[in-house]
């Protein structure tokens, strides 16, 4: 009898504290098959989506390796995937010469790179808490960190370029935009939506949305005094739906 009550209690608690305790994305590693200028082909995988990004690695004879390029998935057909190759500039230093290594076939490519870390753009604290509590395998950057950067730069209306800079500074591969109880996971490099999840409803319907997104210092993100007019976002939902091209 005691075991029965314990089982019922366990099931009840599990339903109350529902979380997604699996990685949302898995890193996919393979090699470049063919390379033609800034295009390459690789073996396709269900782990990747069009818009997924990653890095290309060159391994040397002394077992050392280095990042030589970025990669973005342009198309896939279940057998092969076409990727675009771009310079890797996340660790660029003006005092050092640029790395002049051109990707070639058999170089390793790692897609879904840094997808275990994400920025989050949410309209309220309740919404932010619901999402971050649900996706437990993602290392979330606290919104105060990007908000402080935007406040310093006088950017109350961040666009995708601004979010790309924030991703680079915080070493993240994703941005999760929480809009109308859906989470749009956007790749930091391609700016493409690669996954949409739904069903996480926060108890915030009667609360005002915070712009540009929830943080404890959002009120300090002002328009530069050198710019005429107030550039702050007036409506959270409409702004981000337009930014991401959501109907």
Q: Which residue, 80, 111, 142, sits at the end of a domain?
A: 111
Structure tokens at 198: 């739904």
Residue 168 burial (CB < 10 Å; 0-12/13-18/19+)? middle
Q: Is residue 19 part of a domain?
A: no
User: Are 240 and 222 contained in the same domain?
Assistant: yes
User: Going by C-beta distance under 8 Å and a sequence separation of 6 or more, which residues neighbour residue 115?
Assistant: 24, 25, 27, 173, 174
Out of 56, 83, 111, pick the residue that ends a domain. Answer: 111
Whether residues 105 and 124 share a domain: the answer is no
Predicted TM-score (pTM) of the model is 0.87
Assess whether 123 and 237 both reside in one domain: yes
pLDDT of residue 8: 36
Q: At what angle do helices 160-170 and 144-153 cross, to 10 degrees?
A: 120
> Same domain, yes or no, for 121 and 240?
yes
Query: 179 with 229, same domain?
Result: yes
How many domains does the chain fold into?
Answer: 2
CATH of the domain at 61: 2.40.30.20
User: What is the per-residue pLDDT for 227?
Assistant: 86
Taking phi first (over 0 means left), then psi (-120 to 50 degrees means alpha), and beta for anything else, what does residue 112 get? left
Q: Lowest-confidence range among 26-30, 46-50, 123-127? A: 123-127
Three-class SS of residue 36?
strand
What residue numbers bound the domain in which 76 lies?
28-111
Both 56 and 124 in one domain: the answer is: no
* pLDDT, tens digit, 9 for 90 and up, residues 94-140: 555 666 789 999 999 999 999 999 999 999 999 999 999 999 999 99
- For residues 101 and 165, state if they share a domain: no
User: Given this model, what pLDDT does residue 208 score?
Assistant: 73
Say yes or no: 41 and 98 in one domain.
Answer: yes
Contact 31/107 with Cβ under 8 angstroms?
Answer: yes
Asked if residue 155 lies in contact with residue 209, where contact means CB atoms within 8 angstroms, the answer is no
Q: Is 2 part of a structural domain of the chain? A: no
Report the 10 Å Cβ neighbour count for 108. 16
Residue 1 falls within a domain, yes or no? no
Asked if residue 13 is part of any domain, the answer here is no
Determine the 3-state secondary structure of 86 from DSSP. Answer: strand
Answer yes or no: are the C-beta atoms of 31 and 111 closer than 8 Å: no
Residue 6 lies in a domain: no
Domain annotation covers residue 11: no
Q: For residue 21, tell me if it sits in a domain.
A: no
The domain boundary, picked from 56, 79, 111, lies at: 111
Q: How many CB atoms lie within 10 A of CB 115?
A: 25
- Whether residue 165 is contained in a domain is answered as yes
Same domain, 71 and 171: no
CA 16-18-20 angle, 5° bins? 170
pLDDT in tens, 177-232: 999 989 999 999 999 999 999 867 776 555 678 899 999 999 889 998 888 888 99
Same domain for 228 and 124: yes
């Amino acid at each position: 009898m005691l075991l029965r009550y314990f089982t019922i209690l366990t099931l009840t608690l599990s339903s109350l504290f529902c979380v997604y305790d699996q990685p949302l994305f898995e890193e996919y590693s393979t090699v470049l098959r063919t390379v033609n200028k800034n295009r390459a082909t690789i073996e396709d995988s269900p782990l990747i989506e069009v818009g997924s990004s990653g890095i290309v690695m060159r391994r040397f004879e002394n077992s050392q390796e280095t990042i030589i390029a970025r990669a973005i998935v342009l198309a896939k057909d279940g057998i092969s995937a076409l990727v675009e190759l771009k310079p890797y500039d996340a660790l660029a230093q003006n005092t050092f010469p640029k790395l002049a290594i051109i990707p070639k076939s058999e170089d390793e490519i790692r897609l879904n790179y840094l997808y275990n870390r994400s920025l989050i753009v949410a309209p309220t604290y309740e919404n932010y808490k619901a999402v971050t509590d649900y996706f437990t395998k993602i290392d979330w950057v606290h919104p105060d960190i990007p908000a402080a950067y935007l406040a310093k730069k006088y950017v109350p209306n961040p666009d995708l370029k601004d979010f790309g800079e924030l991703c680079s500074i915080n070493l993240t591969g994703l941005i999760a935009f929480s809009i109308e109880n859906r989470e749009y996971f956007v790749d930091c490099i391609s700016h493409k939506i690669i996954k949409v999840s739904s069903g996480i409803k926060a108890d915030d319907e009667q609360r005002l949305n915070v712009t540009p997104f929830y943080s404890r210092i959002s009120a300090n993100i002002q328009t530069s005094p050198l710019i005429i007019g107030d550039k702050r976002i007036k409506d959270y939902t409409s702004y981000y739906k337009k930014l991401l091209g959501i109907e």
